[in-house]
Amino acid sequence: MGTSLGLDARVHWFGWGGLRWGRLRPFIHQSLRRRAAPDVLLIHCGGNDLGRTTSLDLITGMKQDLQDLHRQFPGTKIILSGITQRRWWRAVNPGKINKARNWRVPSGVRWLTIKTTTLASFFAS
């Protein structure tokens, strides 16, 4: 797919290893400073929060921030990546983290999202 995700578009990558959800919005605003609003904003964040905060607190923050980002960038398609599996988690109970990753967090933000397995199907809608 390459760095443009197989899309006919110019893609800018902004990343911060270890980013936690509470720092996401300031990070996005800093990264987009003096730039036009993006057509697409792909967010891959939340995994570093599992085991460090409750699922409810994470879901509450995600809902609020995704709604705020939608209001700030009304013409932008916002894509929320799923929280990916890791070989090991820093938290004490990997079973509890996987339950949050696979069920609690996705179901908590389901009403804000549509599920798709490819970006092409997302852009076709």
Q: How many domains does the chain have?
A: 1
As given in the structure block, the two tokens for residue 30 are: 């800093």
Partner residues linked to 77 by β-bridges: 40
Domain contains 29: yes
13 falls within a domain: no
CATH code, domain carrying 71? 3.40.50.1110
Q: Is residue 76 part of a domain?
A: yes
5 located within any domain? no
pLDDT tens-digit series, residues 62-110: 989 999 999 999 988 888 887 766 666 666 666 676 666 665 676 767 6
d(CA 24, CA 65): 9
**Is residue 8 pLDDT above 60, yes or no?**
yes
- Whether residue 53 lies inside any domain: the answer is yes
Flag whether 12 is in a domain: no
Range of the domain at 83: 21-124
